[in-house]
Structure 1
Amino acid sequence: MLYEIIRESKLAEPKVSAIVPVYNVINYIDETIESLLNQTLKDIEIILVDDGSSDGSFEKIMDYGDRFDNICVAKEPNAGPGMARNNGLSIAKGKYISFVDSDDILPERALEIMYEAAEKEQVGVVTGISVSFNSNRSWFIGGHYNKGVFKSGRKTLIQNPEMLYTLGPCNKLYLREVVQDIRFPDSIKVAEDHPFVIEAYLKAKSIYTVDEIIYNYRAREDEGDISLSQIVTSNPYVSFKDIIASIKLSDALLKEYVTNPVALQKIRVDYHDRIIATDIWPAYKGILLNGDAETQIKMFDAFRALIDSMDFHLFNNLGVFQRLLTFETINRYTFIKEKARPSYLRALRLAYEKLDPGSLNKLLSSDYPKEVRAGEKAAKRNSVKPIYNRLVARKLKSTISTGFEKVVVKNWKKLVGLSRNFYARRIAFPFYK
């Protein structure tokens, strides 16, 4: 992708090059740039790459470029943040690289803390604590906190698979030697950062996490002004197909870099579990509940291809994927459009063919064993009738239970009320009198 450098930075040998993709962020870009200009670490090169903005953002960053010698301004046709970061990498002169989204904010000591850790520990990647914020409050990121991502110290991706829960490029400092030949894929815009960060982790070998807040992610509150990270809920199919493409790229990298077969099996399971639970599931549910028939068909066909690409060991260690394909979907089966149901059945058949007895027993130990059995029968018979029968039986049971509640329980309450009135009139009142 062609780009043009409009203003060059005058720093010859910066310690850090901070790369900022800029696209229609006129309401936020001042805060982001000011947070970089106010860093306590000196000799920072700020690279602002405009990605075809149309709201005045380009003019805004040009003004900063005219006023500050350490700012570089580049411009490209609209191609997404991945390409903007790639172009920024081509321009960067710093010993270390940092990525900053154009609506986020860095605490003033963030780059100094990470730079000092990188120099002291001699590692390829430094990470730290990230928080989300809006106009009212800030909070720790649940996935990071729950998985132990914040735990400080020296790590590797193989020994610390919790690092798979921080695959965003921005809350990190990279040694330029590690990432100078890595690029973000230009064919996808959602989860395009996963292959980049995974390869950086694997090439760096050693990662160090500092026990400090080094990044503030903005949670945009205006529904009409969503960030790319919020596209999953607003346009789930765009997310879904990009995430599937990202999985294929990342899985290939794991196979390339991890030579120990036992370690490879484990990290592949950890990676797929994380992606399916946190990325695929929200997009999948959005398509399932709101997608049209054609979109649902594409999704189920993509799932079938994904299952087909998995070996038996991988598939049978992905409990979250198995639950999603079986009872999670069967419980929502009525949302599947008539035309898309054969596509779901084909994916379901392949899933049950790959299930080993242990995985099937785990599914049967869930809260929905009858739904799991219905799916199994449907797969064996190549017919959706067992699923229909299960849903009808469940609905009938619910209707009978509701009718019992309304008729029997209601009448029982009346009887109790009458008995109390009888007791009051015939026994309690005369006795009191």
Structure 2
Amino acid sequence: MTKPLVSVIIPTFNAEKYISDTIQSVQNQTYQNWEIILVDDASTDATPKIIASFLTDKRIQFYPLEKNSGTGVARNIALEKAKGKYIAFLDADDLWKAEKLEKQINFMQTYELPFTFSFYEWMDEHGNTLAKRIEAPRNLSYRQLFFCNYVGNLTGIYDVDYFGKITISSIRKRQDWMLWLDILKKIKTAKPVPESLAYYRIHTDSLSISKTELIRYNFAVYRQFHGFNWIVSVFCMIGFLFTQLVIKPFYKKTI
């Protein structure tokens, strides 16, 4: 099979603790035809200095912003610079397994899929695995995605030749969910690579985010992205909460 260029988009903000490991997880890929595009969202720590130390690898590009503008803006700037046939996403504190790109690109080419994602595992702030694998429906429909984001941002890849470059929402939270919804509107269903190919880092402070905040972020998706009125958005949130509490737990596996 051919090995087209994969553009890996990594926005950063105050990620000095993790960014080295994240970049190295891409460098360690068995699939080597990639470029990394890092856009730093005005970090106040050593993140830019650490990234600069990797720039001897000519496949890595770095664009620092002077003003903090949000993850969506950073991702869109990276998207403008991307030259790959495939766009892949990775957050600055997450990791890929070494065969992630090879297995996922092969899966896309074998089944002629313009978009895929994969299962992933949780790890703690120190990189220790938490024996939890997050799975997803084997044929993910738009309706399923509408009520729950089953696609881990660190696993999604789409084909630019099929979709073009898809602009990411500037809403501060849940941009990835909105991106996947845009994609599923066009292809109706999506198939995951049915194995874990990445590690998602769970932070202590993220666990303490109030349920009220989580509801607010998702309510904004229904109001601002879908353009629904308050009444419709409330009914959508009821479906969202039901999915989160009743259905999604079946996709969290102990390993």
TM-score by length of 1: 0.49
1:270-419 to structure 2, matched below 5 A, reads: 306-307=230-231, 309=232, 315=235, 318=238
Q: State the match for 1:89 in structure 2.
A: 79
Q: Give the CA deviation at 1:84.
A: 1.1
Instruction: Provide the rounded CA distance (Å) in 1 between the counterparts of 2:220 and 2:45.
Output: 31
Residue 140 of structure 1 aligns to a residue whose secondary structure is strand
Matched, 1:172 2:148: no
RMSD after superposition: 3.1
Instruction: Provide the rounded CA distance (Å) in 1 between the counterparts of 2:169 and 2:18.
Output: 26
The unaligned stretches of length 5 or more in structure 1 are 1-12, 224-229, 256-304, 323-433
The unaligned stretches of length 5 or more in structure 2 are 243-255
Matched, 1:233 2:216: no
Q: Residue deviations 1:92-116, cap 9 Å, x none?
A: 1111011000000000000111111
Q: Which has the larger radius of gyration?
A: 1
Matched, 1:23 2:23: no
Aligned residue among 182, 207, 229 for 2:166: 182
Q: Residue deviations 1:366-415, cap 9 Å, x none?
A: xxxxxxxxxxxxxxxxxxxxxxxxxxxxxxxxxxxxxxxxxxxxxxxxxx
Q: Give the CA deviation at 1:211.
A: 2.1
Q: State the match for 1:413 in structure 2.
A: none
Q: State the match for 1:248 in structure 2.
A: 223
Aligned residue among 119, 122, 130 for 1:138: 130
Instruction: Provide the rounded CA distance (Å) in 2 between the counterparts of 1:63 and 1:317.
Output: 45
CA 1:163–1:180: 2 relative to 1, 3 Å? farther
Residue 7 of structure 2 aligns to a residue whose secondary structure is strand
Q: State the match for 2:249 in structure 1.
A: none
Instruction: Provide the rounded CA distance (Å) in 1 between the counterparts of 2:236 and 2:109.
Output: 42
| Partners of 1:21 and 1:84 within 8 A in 2 | yes
Q: State the match for 1:201 in structure 2.
A: 184
Q: Residue deviations 1:4-23, cap 9 Å, x none?
A: xxxxxxxxx95211110011
Q: Give the CA deviation at 1:320.
A: 7.6
Residue 170 of structure 1 aligns to a residue whose secondary structure is helix
Instruction: Provide the rounded CA distance (Å) in 2 between the counterparts of 1:85 and 1:191.
Output: 13
CA 1:251–1:35: 2 relative to 1, 3 Å? same
Instruction: Provide the rounded CA distance (Å) in 1 between the counterparts of 2:142 and 2:224.
Output: 18
Matched, 1:72 2:73: no
Aligned residue among 25, 30, 35 for 1:40: 30
Q: Residue deviations 1:299-342, cap 9 Å, x none?
A: xxxxxx622x46xxx949947879xxxxxxxxxxxxxxxxxxxx
Instruction: Provide the rounded CA distance (Å) in 2 between the counterparts of 1:191 and 1:71.
Output: 26
Structure having the higher strand fraction is: 2
| Partners of 2:148 and 2:240 within 8 A in 1 | no
Identity %: 26
Letter in 1 for 2:57: F
Q: State the match for 1:100 in structure 2.
A: 90
Instruction: Provide the rounded CA distance (Å) in 2 between the counterparts of 1:157 and 1:320.
Output: 15
Residue 42 of structure 2 aligns to a residue whose secondary structure is coil
Q: Give the CA deviation at 1:180.
A: 3.5
TM-score by length of 2: 0.80
Instruction: Provide the rounded CA distance (Å) in 2 between the counterparts of 1:14 and 1:316.
Output: 39
Structure having the higher helix fraction is: 1
Q: Give the CA deviation at 1:55.
A: 0.4
| Partners of 2:29 and 2:98 within 8 A in 1 | yes
Instruction: Provide the rounded CA distance (Å) in 2 between the counterparts of 1:157 and 1:174.
Output: 16
| Partners of 2:121 and 2:129 within 8 A in 1 | no
Q: Give the CA deviation at 1:202.
A: 2.1
Q: How many residues align?
A: 237
Letter in 1 for 2:36: I
CA 1:159–1:235: 2 relative to 1, 3 Å? closer
